Structure 1
Amino acid sequence: MAEEPRPDRADGNLPRAAPAGVSTRRHPRRRRIVAVGAVLAVVAASAVGVVWWRLNGNITRVDVSGALASDRPTKVAEGPLNILLIGSDTRVGEGTSDAASVSGARSDTTLVAHLSADRRHVTVVSIPRDSMVRMPPHCDAKVPKAQWTVQQFNAAFSMGGPACTINTIEGDTGVFIDHFAVVDFNGFKGMVDALGGVPVCTPKPINDPKAHLRLPAGRHVLDGEQALGYVRVRYTEGDGSDLGRIKRQQAFLSSVVQEATRTSLLLRPDKLYGFLDAATRSLTTDESLGLGEMRDIATSVQDTGVGNIAFVTVPTETYPQDPNRVQWTGAAATLWTALRQDRPVARPSASASPSATPTQAALTVSPADIRVLVVNATGVSGLAADIAAALRVQGFAGVTTGSVADRPDGVVVAYGTGQEEAARTVAAAFPGSTSKEDATLGQTVRVTVGAGAKAVVEVPNRLGSQPLPTPTAPVPAPTGSIVARTADQDICS
């Protein structure tokens, strides 16, 4: 009698027979591959974690909140971001989080980077170190502004570090500073070397023993040591002023942006790590500006075209009491107003995104369907009425007028959420105007008219044929020119 087959499963059932032609062999090789893959995934994740931990740990953080003034400018929620960048000749706060430890260092370069709320443009403002400005005596934030004294700008960092510099900038400009970062020169050299060098253009030969730099005229690719000498050259190049050096620094920063874009730095882990490691090892920031926040900021501006990154120097003139020092001109007030109002200070270049030239496409909203508020920011009586009349003739409905105390240059067309097409129609009437979104406006398009505004022109989809009335109020000339260099300009320009 044949022996019955025994079940080999815990449930007592017999195993199912494999279909004909199908092997019942196990696949140990496949299991090994899966296991190795899982291990590699864990290792990769751990490596990323270690890199992140190391880079984040490189950064020195300083708490300056207790040293900031109590009457700071108002911070606009979900608005623009202003970051104070300081190039220093020493490692600020080395091994400590004490705000007082930053005193005594010297600031060689001071920049305010303004990132617009919509991240469509970035303005980097250079503040000359020789500027004579008002600041709190002994960097005491409790001293009322009425008792501030005129001192050389870079004395603020030497006396009170980032906190005193922030108090001085905010008190003199009304621009709220969200974060600060201090980079020492060793980190600067490392970042340049991590990029593989940065191209520069020298119209004339440079021979500066103090900067340890000799270069013939022409184009060069500088390593970190040479680049540091290049941006610090002062006494043997140009007029020997800080203003000449700032121009070279701005041209150099433009080249850095171009080089990072050309080499796809963000897509090259090998180069990116070297760049970030050099940067973070020499970086001191406020307590809330960590690697995660920096990543978020970088991500938010990744679609900002290089043509929409502008480098500007605070407009200055000779300081009467000392010809070796400078003071800010009236145009500086225009610059700071533009930053407070989140307006670009330079027209986008030809390489800017199509959204920067909103009147190229056909207009889709009729003037009859648009409410417009014309705001006179020139102080000239009757100017808003002239502009309103020129708009009404073209069929714009519900045009109202107003005025403000600020004195910006140019024309800004502001519009509420979903009103961009209506704003394009309005902007077509104002040559050279700048458009920006303002969620507080609702369905009204606000036109702020400042000094230097051009006369209203006919829009392509105007209603009626009555000619535009002749203006009666004069438009004042711009308060001063603000020269901007965009990051896409040729390095030899």
Structure 2
Amino acid sequence: MLFDERGPPVSEPTPGSGPSEPGDSSASSPQVGPSETHPTESHTGPEAGTGEPPLRRRSDRHKDHKHPWLRRGGIAVAAALAVILVLSVVAYVKLTGNINRIDITEALGKRPQKQATTDVNTKLGPMNIMVMGSDTRAGSGNDKYGSSGSISGARSDTNLVVHLSADRKSAVVVSIPRDSMTKAPRSCSDKEWSPDTGVVRQWNANFTLGQEACVIKTFEGLTGIYIDHFVVIDFRGFQSMVDALGGVTVCTPVPIDDKEAKLVLPAGKTKVNGKQALGYVRVRKTVGDGSDISRINRQQAFLSSVVQEATSSSLLLRPDKLFRFLDAATHSMTTDSDFGIGNMRDVAQSVARIGMDQIRFVTVPIEAYPADKNRVQWAPAADALWEAIREDKPLPGQKPPPGTKTPTPTPTTSEPLTVAPNLIRVRVTNDSGAAGLARQAAGALEVQGFRIQGYVNGTGVPGKGTVVRYGKGMKEAARTVAAAFPGAKIRQDDQLGSTIEVSVGQGSKDVVEVPNRIGNKPIPSPTVTAPPVPTSTVTIKARTANQDICS
């Protein structure tokens, strides 16, 4: 029996009967009020008639014996969560407000198509970020490093292309020598250009002439690599980021005493602060051979040390330290309008999951520039590097990360085609280097009923095989187009509309009949053949993030 504290005992439900719900007609006993007693109930046990306090329900005993400190603890936890939430919002707003964002979409003009596919597991595509170090002499003591002379405005001191693989298992950081002589747009305001029509210009002049847009436009035109985001960081940001990390260890084989860089370091390993680190990555005249390549090698070793420092200090697991680092970085940062704190956090988390042996630092393969011994130009081997990044493949001569699956061409005719050719608009681009190939492919499609929207030459960057790209909701139409090109790959590109884009590159096969073609007019005999895909024996030398910084 259970006893109610307010009065006489109340009958305990019989086992298995369960509680009576309001309105339940199966309840067998009338409700007993405070002044009522059940006629058949008797009092037994030590409590009956003894004046002992009645027994209490378990739930009541639990409620009454809850200690005040437990209640206070619950309130404290709720308050702490509220504080954390508020601080997180404040931090997000502050960091977001630090960043200077600009939209350069219109200034970029015509851009290359993305060639790599989305990873099946991550549901992500590869990401390419152009990082530009600005050596502007304006304000905040930036003019203390090196002689400004007659130079005004900002220059691009360092250019890095960061490539994250679609499976987020590897990353490549490519350094572009600022003394490289390459083709570039005649005017940075040109909406469209190709290496065939460009002029030769020193690489870091692009930033001076047209800043971020000119650098990205030049790079995309030369390599065919689509840049998803860009980041510009000036001297102040670099220095503050190093200080926020608590310093970074560097290694020099010889002592450094460089008055221009304001740097004095002993030989061997030294942990440097932000000011010293800035001098270390910029010094050219008193260490190494004085070349830009020697400086890049030092920068790559420094970046390896930064990755090691961030990993060993569990930067991403220390909110206070992470905030200081991001606050320092964002104060002197300019990005594209779509690259916010949320995107940066996702990138940081992706990189944190990549093994340090799969973060590689490389330099664009170069050779002497014949017209000026003090300058360099990209060597033919650079084409293999750009191809690996375009197609999201391992660097030439490097093995893929464990567990990486090699993508295979999308089947094009294994299932019945559901969209007739006369309902499909097609544009053909010649990326093979063989004149007339796009016109020939377009003609072979047109006689089968496809609606040809045009055929054009590509950017001059060779492609491999045939790639069919389609926009949202156009996959079935793309399958019909791909059926005309043996071995074609199908790739979704959300930037496209209802027109299917076809790229015919090196090794492309001649157009064949599709099963659901319109009409019976024969396909014209081909007169142009795509050149074969060249066999590459190139090996790209890379430095991994876990490599000894003194090596």
Query: Matched residues in 2 for 1:171 and 1:314: separation?
Result: 16
Q: 1:320 to 1:32 in 2, by over 3 A?
A: same
Query: Matched residues in 2 for 1:229 and 1:51: separation?
Result: 31
SS at match of 1:124: strand
User: Quick check: 1:167 aligned with 2:167?
Assistant: no
Flag as ranges the 4+ runs of structure 1 deviating above 4 A: 11-18, 20-28, 346-349, 405-408, 475-481
Query: Matched residues in 1 for 2:192 and 2:536: separation?
Result: 35
User: Quick check: 1:36 aligned with 2:85?
Assistant: no
SS at match of 2:323: helix
Aligned CA-pair RMSD: 3.6
Q: Which residue number in structure 2 is paired with residue 67 of structure 1?
A: 107
Q: 1:226 to 1:64 in 2, by over 3 A?
A: same
The percent identity for this pair of structures is: 52
SS at match of 1:186: helix
User: Quick check: 1:342 aligned with 2:342?
Assistant: no
Q: 1:170 to 1:476 in 2, by over 3 A?
A: closer
Query: Matched residues in 1 for 2:181 and 2:32: separation?
Result: 93
User: What letter is aligned with 2:224?
Assistant: G
Q: Which residue number in structure 2 is paired with residue 484 of structure 1?
A: 542
Query: Matched residues in 2 for 1:216 and 1:31: separation?
Result: 59
Query: Matched residues in 2 for 1:91 and 1:64: separation?
Result: 23
SS at match of 2:264: strand
> In 2, are the aligned partners of 1:348 and 1:356 still within 8 Å (CA)?
no
> In 2, are the aligned partners of 1:191 and 1:275 still within 8 Å (CA)?
yes
Deviation by residue 1:425-469 (Cα, 9 ceiling, x = unmatched):
xxxxxxxxxxxxx997xxxxxxxxx9xxxxxxxxxxxxxxxxxxx
1:205: Cα distance to partner? 1.6
> In 2, are the aligned partners of 1:334 and 1:407 still within 8 Å (CA)?
no
Match of 2:183 among 114, 119, 134: 134
Deviation by residue 1:104-154 (Cα, 9 ceiling, x = unmatched):
411100000111111111111000001111111231232532431110111
Q: Which residue number in structure 1 is paired with residue 128 of structure 2?
A: 82
Query: Matched residues in 2 for 1:42 and 1:14: separation?
Result: 44
User: Quick check: 1:305 aligned with 2:340?
Assistant: no
Pairs within 5 Å for 1:103-142: 104-142=153-191
Q: Which residue number in structure 1 is paired with residue 258 of structure 2?
A: 208
SS at match of 1:139: coil
Q: Which residue number in structure 1 is paired with residue 205 of structure 2?
A: 155
Range 168-177 or range 14-23, more displaced: 14-23
Higher-Rg structure is 2
Q: 1:330 to 1:105 in 2, by over 3 A?
A: same
Query: Matched residues in 2 for 1:217 and 1:356: separation?
Result: 41
Q: Which residue number in structure 1 is paired with residue 311 of structure 2?
A: 261
Q: Which residue number in structure 1 is paired with residue 86 of structure 2?
A: 46
> In 1, are the aligned partners of 2:116 and 2:391 still within 8 Å (CA)?
no
Q: Between Structure 1 and Structure 2, how many residues are aligned? A: 370
> In 1, are the aligned partners of 2:367 and 2:378 still within 8 Å (CA)?
yes
1:281: Cα distance to partner? 1.0
Q: Which residue number in structure 2 is paired with residue 468 of structure 1?
A: none
Q: Which residue number in structure 1 is paired with residue 403 of structure 2?
A: 355
1:276: Cα distance to partner? 1.0
> In 1, are the aligned partners of 2:129 and 2:230 still within 8 Å (CA)?
yes
> In 1, are the aligned partners of 2:128 and 2:226 still within 8 Å (CA)?
yes
SS at match of 1:138: coil
1:331: Cα distance to partner? 0.6
Q: Which residue number in structure 2 is paired with residue 19 of structure 1?
A: 56
- Where in structure 2 are there 5+ consecutive unaligned residues? 1-5, 8-30, 37-53, 119-124, 141-151, 407-460, 465-488, 492-506, 508-532
SS at match of 2:384: helix
Match of 1:238 among 288, 296, 302: 288
Structure number having the greater helix percentage: 1
> In 2, are the aligned partners of 1:195 and 1:271 still within 8 Å (CA)?
yes
SS at match of 1:157: helix
Query: Matched residues in 2 for 1:36 and 1:236: separation?
Result: 59
Pairs within 5 Å for 1:273-284: 273-284=323-334
SS at match of 2:381: helix
Query: Matched residues in 1 for 2:545 and 2:398: separation?
Result: 11
Q: Which residue number in structure 1 is paired with residue 297 of structure 2?
A: 247
1:298: Cα distance to partner? 2.0
SS at match of 2:285: coil
Pairs within 5 Å for 1:189-228: 189-228=239-278
> In 2, are the aligned partners of 1:330 and 1:480 still within 8 Å (CA)?
no
User: What letter is aligned with 2:113?
Assistant: P
> In 2, are the aligned partners of 1:310 and 1:346 still within 8 Å (CA)?
no
User: Quick check: 1:285 aligned with 2:335?
Assistant: yes
Q: Which residue number in structure 1 is paired with residue 422 of structure 2?
A: none
1:215: Cα distance to partner? 1.3
Query: Matched residues in 2 for 1:200 and 1:70: separation?
Result: 42
Q: 1:229 to 1:53 in 2, by over 3 A?
A: same
Q: 1:339 to 1:15 in 2, by over 3 A?
A: farther
SS at match of 1:234: coil
Deviation by residue 1:259-280 (Cα, 9 ceiling, x = unmatched):
1111111112222111111111
Query: Matched residues in 1 for 2:544 and 2:263: separation?
Result: 27
Query: Matched residues in 2 for 1:50 and 1:212: separation?
Result: 38
SS at match of 2:395: coil
Q: 1:476 to 1:106 in 2, by over 3 A?
A: closer
TM-score, length basis structure 1: 0.68
> In 2, are the aligned partners of 1:87 and 1:110 still within 8 Å (CA)?
yes
Query: Matched residues in 2 for 1:301 and 1:91: separation?
Result: 32
User: What letter is aligned with 1:50?
Assistant: V
Match of 1:56 among 84, 96, 106: 96
1:14: Cα distance to partner? 4.6
Q: 1:12 to 1:300 in 2, by over 3 A?
A: farther
Query: Matched residues in 1 for 2:116 and 2:93: separation?
Result: 32
Q: 1:327 to 1:268 in 2, by over 3 A?
A: same
User: What letter is aligned with 1:51?
Assistant: A
> In 2, are the aligned partners of 1:190 and 1:278 still within 8 Å (CA)?
yes
> In 1, are the aligned partners of 2:100 and 2:333 still within 8 Å (CA)?
yes
Query: Matched residues in 1 for 2:368 and 2:95: separation?
Result: 43
> In 2, are the aligned partners of 1:73 and 1:170 still within 8 Å (CA)?
no
Q: 1:315 to 1:20 in 2, by over 3 A?
A: closer
Q: 1:236 to 1:19 in 2, by over 3 A?
A: same
Q: 1:47 to 1:338 in 2, by over 3 A?
A: same
User: What letter is aligned with 2:162?
Assistant: A
> In 2, are the aligned partners of 1:91 and 1:282 still within 8 Å (CA)?
no
1:347: Cα distance to partner? 5.8
> In 2, are the aligned partners of 1:61 and 1:286 still within 8 Å (CA)?
yes
User: What letter is aligned with 2:161?
Assistant: V
> In 2, are the aligned partners of 1:104 and 1:161 still within 8 Å (CA)?
no
> In 2, are the aligned partners of 1:87 and 1:183 still within 8 Å (CA)?
yes
SS at match of 1:176: coil
> In 1, are the aligned partners of 2:177 and 2:364 still within 8 Å (CA)?
yes
User: What letter is aligned with 2:380?
Assistant: G
Query: Matched residues in 1 for 2:137 and 2:331: separation?
Result: 10
- Where in structure 1 are there 5+ consecutive unaligned residues? 95-102, 359-404, 409-437, 441-449, 451-474
User: What letter is aligned with 2:177?
Assistant: P
Q: 1:37 to 1:304 in 2, by over 3 A?
A: closer
